[in-house]
């Protein structure tokens, strides 16, 4: 189930993603538009050092979500441990608090929010969703079990 770390090994993204990731992170850091992708920076759960990864940000009905397309990868575990991070959207940093959806909430998200959104999307977005998330539309239960989901909430800025 999403959110469970006991006994799970850390997954690795496919080789093609690992090859293009350093370049994509550079472009995202510079603010280059790369579709729905943003740069997520989170404090490392072991090192405490900032760690960055390119992730797809999905905005639906004014709410923002990121989905662990490859399951239990390092950025997922770091975000889960830290509970907060920074996203760089078109050259601008935004502090966010991350709330992981688990169990019934994750299933509801995939079935009632993401699947209808994908079905109503452009053909390229439908293809990309199928490539990176599998059959979310046809099997939201499997999606909820294999793809952690975080809702990103704005962090209020403290006044100096």
Separation CA 134–CA 139 (nearest Å): 9
Residue 143 φ/ψ, nearest 5 degrees: -60, -45
11-15, 33-37, 55-59, 150-154: segment of lowest average pLDDT: 11-15
Separation CA 72–CA 67 (nearest Å): 11
Q: Which long-range contacts (CB under 8 A, 24 or more apart) does 11-19 make?
A: 11/70, 11/71, 11/72, 11/73, 12/70, 12/73, 13/69, 13/70, 13/73, 14/70, 17/70
pLDDT in tens, 94-103: 999 999 999 9
CB-neighbour burial class of residue 39 (10 A; exposed 0-12, middle 13-18, buried 19+): buried
Q: What's the token pair of residue 56?
A: 């797809």
Q: What's the token pair of residue 122?
A: 């452009």
Beta strands in the chain (DSSP E): 37-43, 50-60, 63-67, 84-89, 92-101, 149-154
Per-residue pLDDT for 12 more than 80?
no
What topology does CATH give the domain 15-103+148-153? Pnp Oxidase; Chain A (2.30.110)
Q: pTM surpassing 0.85? A: no
Helices (H) and strands (E) in the chain, counts: 6, 6
Beta bridge partners of 55: 38
Supply the mean pLDDT for the chain.
83
The C-alpha R_g of the chain, in whole angstroms, comes to 15
**What's the average model confidence in pLDDT over 79-96?**
94
Query: Nearest CA to 75 among 51, 59, 105?
Result: 51
**What's the average model confidence in pLDDT over 130-142?**
80
């Amino acid at each position: 189930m999403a959110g469970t770390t006991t006994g799970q090994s850390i997954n690795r993204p496919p080789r093609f993603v690992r090859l293009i990731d350093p370049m994509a992170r550079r472009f995202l850091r510079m603010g280059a538009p790369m579709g729905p992708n943003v740069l997520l920076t989170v404090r490392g759960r072991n090192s405490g050092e900032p760690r960055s990864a390119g992730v797809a940000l999905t905005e639906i009905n004014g709410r923002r979500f990121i989905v662990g397309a490859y399951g239990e990868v390092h950025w997922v575990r770091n975000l889960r441990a830290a509970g907060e991070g920074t996203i760089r959207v078109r050259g601008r940093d935004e502090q966010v608090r991350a709330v992981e959806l688990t169990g019934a909430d994750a299933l509801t998200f995939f079935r009632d929010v993401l699947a209808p959104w994908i079905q109503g999307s452009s053909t390229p977005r439908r293809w990309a969703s199928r490539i990176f998330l599998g059959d979310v539309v046809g099997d939201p239960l499997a999606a909820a079990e294999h793809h952690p989901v975080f809702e990103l909430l704005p962090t209020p800025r403290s006044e100096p």
